[in-house]
Structure 1
Amino acid sequence: MRRSDTGSDTDSELDSVGSSRTGGGPWAAAGANLALGVLATFPGMCVHWLMTEYLPMDCGSQGTRGTGCDPDIFVSASFYMWGAGIGGLVVLALLVIVDVLMPRQEGWPRRLWLGMAVLVPVPFVVGLALGRF
């Protein structure tokens, strides 16, 4: 409490704003992690492509002349590998910032934010279920 110019006791502006802020609740944690999930669709698509297109090829001892070998896939493979690696690292760094460092700095419950991290793959899984990826 501080004394205003008129002589009455009032809360300072910072105290009234700080006490009315309820950031860090379950809706904020869910929204932030779902937004991270939207960003995580790019490395997710890269890993999905690597698992479904690149790994099942049967080149065998015949090199790229095998029946299941497609030489065009070899051209695209490095893009998807780099996309999965770098994109995954970026999403992991953002996940640490949003779910660990930010709640720690603001005094929000970290257990809630870390628990909501399970929502990160939801946009990718929904995209797969709808046949968009």
Structure 2
Amino acid sequence: MLAPALANLAIGVPAIIPLYLTYWLLTDYLPSPCDAFAPDPELSNCDYHTLDHAPVMMFLLTVTGAILLLALLTVDILGPRRRADARPGRWLAMATLIPAPFLVLLCLAKT
């Protein structure tokens, strides 16, 4: 029971990057009041700094998210199938620990 928890916590440390990128897109980019068809860009109270960074952040989210899913597939699904004694259900249940390091850092940043 300890091996799946430690393995998924170890995946959670590099998973901080795609989780932060998702957090940024949901908290900074989506609520942005930018109107592409505004007659005067100054009237929309748009943060162009956020708009400039959005394509890069989305690309990085795609790349790091794919790497995270590949690691999750390798560790939690393919790994237990190679071992006869390990059940994949126990490993997949411990996958809920992957966002734990990000949530701890997010809570520490808010205080």
TM-score by length of 2: 0.87
What CA deviation, in whole Å up to 9, does each residue of 1:75-103 have, x standing for no partner? 11111101111111110111010001011
Which residue of structure 2 lines up, in the alignment, with residue 47 of structure 1?
A: 22
Partner-residue secondary structure (3-state), 1:130: helix
Moved over 6 A (4+): none
More helix as a share of residues: 2
User: Between Structure 1 and Structure 2, whose CA radius of gyration is higher?
Assistant: 1
Amino acid at match of 1:125: L
> Which residue, 93, 100, 111 being the options, matches 1:115?
93
Is residue 77 of structure 2 the alignment partner of residue 83 of structure 1? no
Compute the RMSD of aligned alpha carbons.
1.5
For the 8 Å contact 1:34–1:120, the answer to whether it is kept is: yes
Partner-residue secondary structure (3-state), 2:13: helix
Matching of residues 33-112 of structure 1 within 5 Å: 33-60=8-35, 61-62=37-38, 64-107=41-84, 108-112=86-90
Relative contact order, higher structure (CA 8 A, sep 6+):
2
Unpaired segments ≥5 residues, structure 1? 1-25
Give the C-alpha shift of residue 109 in structure 1: 1.7
Unpaired segments ≥5 residues, structure 2? none
For the 8 Å contact 1:43–1:84, the answer to whether it is kept is: yes
TM-score by length of 1: 0.74
Count, aligned residues: 107
For the 8 Å contact 1:40–1:121, the answer to whether it is kept is: yes
